[in-house]
Amino acid sequence: MALLETRGLSIRFGGHLAVSDVDLDVEAGLVTGLIGPNGAGKTTTFNLICGVLSPTGGRVSLDGRQIGSLGTHERARLGIGRTFQRLEVFSSMTVRENVLVGAEIRQGWARFGHSEPPLLAAGGDPSLDEEVDLLVDRLGLGPVADTRVGSLPTGQARLVEIARALAIRPRVLLLDEPASGLDDSETHHLGDLMVQLATAGLAILLVEHDVPLVMKVCSHVFVLDFGQVIASGTPAEVQQNETVQAAYLGSAS
């Protein structure tokens, strides 16, 4: 059983079936890709997993527990972290303050018995400030730690959002186009970080149009088109799949 599973996940907006009978398995310790053309239903699938949207059919489970009736905050507390395709950062706050928000929320969960270890700290239990500094450094944001996020380029603001998501110590991290706005060097660094986080035990579900990045870091890839999974397999398998090439890769790579 995968850490995060969806089965038959579906949502209809009026007459439009945006996500249709989607089965995903997202394993701990791996980066799993979710790719497909614009409008395929990738962000909508994230919103269904997080509880931003309620499905018209199907279910979502985390570690064997059905979470479909839980609110977004409860799913976050159980370990589902995410970033947003359309950046959601606190623009008037500094980089460090943005990450601190995540860390303080996580600290507040202690009374619910939340006890996930930090993902990147090498042993021990860092203080709140130490953990924030560590995340800021690991995302390469040290030089801008005290800069207001609103004055950063989009690429760096995306990294802030990832650092804030990591501060809640998620078990599953949903990344919606994290490389959008990043330059080549930042994208390379992000790829290495995703692999490192997965090696530390995190389950990552990556939505990304940067196909070379997906092929480099993912162990398994699901391909969506018109709301349906049209293929899944290793990066090499989906790249060679003729249906996938016709629907997406022919134009994307």
Ligand X SMILES: Nc1ncnc2c1ncn2[C@@H]1O[C@H](COP(=O)(O)OP(=O)(O)OP(=O)(O)O)[C@@H](O)[C@H]1O
> E-strand spans in 14-167?
16-26, 31-35, 57-62, 65-66, 80-82
- What's the per-residue H, E or C state across 53-64? CCCCEEEEEECC
If one asks whether residue 43 binds ligand X (CB under 6 A), the answer comes out as yes
Question: Which structure tokens are listed for 112?
Answer: 């619910």
Q: Determine, following the binding rule CB under 6 A, whether residue 115 of this chain makes contact with ligand X.
A: no
Binding mask 58-97 for ligand X (x = CB under 6 A): ---------------------------x------------
Using CB under 5 A as the binding rule, the residues of this chain from 67 to 126 that contact Mg ion are 85
Least separation in angstroms between CB 252 and Mg ion:
14
Which of 41, 81, 102, 191 is in the footprint of ligand X by CB under 6 A?
A: 41
**Does residue number 47 form part of the binding site for Mg ion (CB under 5 A)?**
no
CA-closest candidate to residue 43, choices 202, 195, 17, 52: 52
Cβ nearer to ligand X, comparing 3 with 224? 224
Which single residue brings its beta carbon nearest to Mg ion?
A: 43
Residue 180 as a binder of Mg ion (CB under 5 A): the answer is no
Query: Which span (40-48, 123-131, 161-169, 196-204) binds ligand X, by CB under 6 A?
Result: 40-48
Distance CA 131, CA 241 (A): 43
43 near Mg ion, rule: CB under 5 A: yes
User: Which of Mg ion, ligand X, none binds 155 (CB below 5-8 Å, type-dependent)?
Assistant: none
| DSSP character string of 27-53 | -TTSEEEEE-STTSSHHHHHHHHHTSS
Q: By CB under 5 A, how many residues form the interface with Mg ion?
A: 3
Decide if 7 contacts 58 (C-beta within 8 A). yes
CA 119, 125, 129, 130 torsion: positive or negative?
negative
Binding mask 3-32 for ligand X (x = CB under 6 A): ----------x----x--------------
Rg (CA), the chain: 18
**DSSP bridge partners of 17:** 12
In one letter, which amino acid is 155? G
CA distance 11 to 91: 32
Could you say whether residue 191 binds ligand X (CB under 6 A)?
no
Contact between 42 and ligand X by CB under 6 A: the answer reads yes
Q: Does 44 bind ligand X (CB under 6 A)?
A: yes
Rule CB under 6 A: which residues touch ligand X?
13, 18, 36, 38-44, 85
